[in-house]
């Protein structure tokens, strides 16, 4: 991408483990005519924020993934801004601003559905910042991080080199403080600073390393990857709500299958889905593993073609075989009917999973609907088939049934084929299909038994009051 960065980046890589020396190194400044970022590719709302901050005497930079993606000629998902203005100063400049965050204070500037996130330059943890201080747990995890500093310190505090790139609205140059340009060229995800320390500060960085590697089709550098397997357990201390959001970014990014395989390789999948761990095999041949591959490949394909996706469908597929196995265990041990055991098992599996990922109720309700319809789709006689077609979650349940057919074959595959044909048939053909089904299964519609007129209750005469 740029030919004159090699010597600079070697100096950076030699200083990454030394926080004090890092900030002394002058950044690589790439002028406007030597990089490919154009303002026409930047959100108009982000430009408004950048210009207003700059006009009022503050430093203003587009930073992180937005700069990285623009340099890679891909469309950024978000446009984040870094500045030396404090959150309170940002709020004074924008009436449409709200301040969020306890761990680190951020300003969100609202433009309809688009949110431009503005962060104040972060400083070193040990900075004498008065009330703006950091606090850490005994394991080194950052609990509060309201420490403000310079742009050099902010660059050092960022997670990966490719995210420590700054686009300066004042002169339209790009500033590289950590060798991110070289790593973009080499297609490497590299953590800034000592990896184990940075992972202990925020264990979610391990998931971010995997997500960026899969999303950008890059490799994780050796020193960045090495500590991950033995630190993966730290994810169990992360709030379940945050892990739920991270799981969506991981598995619904369009590279879900590659992300899943890399998570498995680095022992990061088990902390997210501990229920599935006992269903994994060395050759990845279990039904659960086959379903994971099918549903993630399907999700990637839908995202790639611009189709809508729903997290509930993904989770329903991922957890299906653990539910069926738990159902059989409960039915055998308790003597409950399969249906009753299935209801108990469904609740058990969902309750266990939400302890790790805080799946919202609107999704768990849909998961249950998809699961229950799997039991009902085999009951097609009479008017049942027509009623099932009217179910709001029928299409999702049918799509899932098709996936099960790929794995299980036999009667499940035949059932999926029948429902595929039934949906596309006209009304007359639908009736014919149901008649043929009744004949094949020996089910005949019994005539309705007429009530004996003599046994009808006589209406009582009105009593005068």
Among candidate residues 69, 80, 183, 300, the one labeled active-site is 80
Residue 286: which residues within 8 A CB-CB, separation 6 or more?
A: 279, 280, 321
The Cα–Cα gap between 114 and 118 comes to 13
Q: ∠ CA(68), CA(69), CA(73), 5° rounding?
A: 120
- Judging by beta carbons within 10 Å of its beta carbon (0-12, 13-18, 19+), is residue 427 exposed, middle or buried? exposed
80 carries an active-site annotation = yes
139 carries an active-site annotation = no
Q: In this structure, what token pair is assigned to residue 411?
A: 């009667």
Q: What share of the chain is helix, strand, coil (3-state, %, to 5)?
A: 55, 10, 35
Closest by Cα among 449, 451, 430 to 382: 430
Residue 417: which residues within 8 A CB-CB, separation 6 or more?
A: 405
Q: Cα dihedral angle (414, 419, 424, 425), rounded to 10 degrees?
A: 90
Alpha helices in 227-310 (DSSP H): 228-231, 240-251, 256-265, 287-304
Specify whether the CB–CB gap between 201 and 232 falls below 8 A. no
Among candidate residues 69, 145, 154, 159, the one labeled active-site is 159
Specify whether the CB–CB gap between 374 and 404 falls below 8 A. yes
CA 84 to chain centre: 31
Among candidate residues 78, 186, 194, 369, the one labeled active-site is 78
421 carries an active-site annotation = no
DSSP secondary structure of 203-251: THHHHHHHHHHHHTT-EE-HHHHTTHHHHGGGGGGS-HHHHHHHHHHHH
Q: What is the 3-state secondary structure (H, E, C) of 73-138?
A: CCCCCCCEEEECCCHHHHHHHCCCEEEECCCCCEEEEEECCEEEEEEECECCCCCCCCCCCEEECC
Which active-site residues does the annotation give? 78, 80, 159
């Amino acid at each position: 991408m740029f030919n004159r960065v090699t010597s600079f980046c070697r100096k950076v890589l030699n200083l990454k483990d030394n926080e004090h020396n890092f900030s002394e190194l002058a950044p690589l400044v790439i002028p406007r005519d030597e990089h490919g970022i154009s303002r026409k590719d930047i959100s108009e709302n982000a430009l408004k924020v950048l210009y207003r901050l700059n006009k009022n005497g503050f430093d203003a930079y587009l930073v992180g993934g937005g700069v990285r993606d623009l340099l890679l000629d891909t469309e950024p998902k978000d446009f984040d801004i870094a500045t030396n203005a404090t959150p309170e100063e940002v709020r004074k400049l924008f009436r449409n601003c709200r301040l969020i965050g306890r761990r680190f204070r951020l300003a969100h500037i609202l433009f309809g559905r688009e949110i431009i996130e503005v962060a104040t330059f972060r400083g070193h943890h040990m900075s004498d910042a008065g009330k703006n201080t950091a606090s850490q747990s005994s394991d080194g995890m950052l609990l509060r991080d309201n420490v403000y500093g310079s742009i050099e310190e902010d660059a050092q505090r960022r997670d990966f080199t490719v995210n420590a790139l700054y686009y300066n609205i004042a002169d339209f140059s790009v500033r590289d403080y950590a060798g991110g340009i070289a790593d973009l060229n080499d297609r490497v995800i590299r953590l800034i600073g000592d990896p184990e320390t940075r992972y202990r500060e925020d264990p979610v960085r391990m998931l971010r390393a995997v997500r960026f590697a899969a999303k950008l089709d890059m490799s994780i550098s050796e020193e960045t990857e090495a500590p991950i397997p033995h630190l993966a357990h730290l994810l169990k201390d992360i709030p379940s709500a945050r892990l739920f959001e991270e799981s969506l970014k991981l598995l619904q990014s369009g590279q879900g299958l590659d992300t899943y395989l890399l998570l498995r390789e680095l022992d990061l999948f088990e902390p997210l889905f501990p229920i599935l761990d006992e269903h994994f095999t060395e050759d990845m041949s279990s039904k659960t593993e086959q379903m994971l591959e099918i549903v993630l490949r399907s999700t990637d394909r839908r995202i790639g073609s611009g189709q809508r996706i729903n997290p509930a469908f993904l989770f329903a597929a991922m957890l299906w075989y653990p539910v069926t196995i738990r159902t059989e265990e409960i039915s055998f041990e308790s003597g409950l009917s399969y249906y009753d055991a299935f209801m108990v098992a469904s609740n058990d599996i969902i309750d266990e999973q939400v302890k790790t990922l805080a799946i919202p109720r609107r999704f768990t309700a849909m998961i249950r609907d998809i699961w229950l319809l799997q039991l009902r789709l085999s009951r097609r006689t009479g008017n049942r088939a027509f009623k099932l077609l009217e179910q709001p979650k029928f299409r999702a349940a049918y799509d899932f049934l098709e996936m099960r057919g790929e794995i299980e074959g036999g009667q499940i595959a035949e059932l999926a084929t029948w429902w595929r044909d039934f949906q596309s048939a006209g009304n007359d053909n639908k009736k014919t299909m149901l008649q043929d089904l009744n004949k094949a299964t020996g089910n005949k519609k019994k005539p309705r038994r007429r009530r004996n007129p003599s046994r009808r209750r006589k209406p009582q005469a009105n009593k005068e009051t």
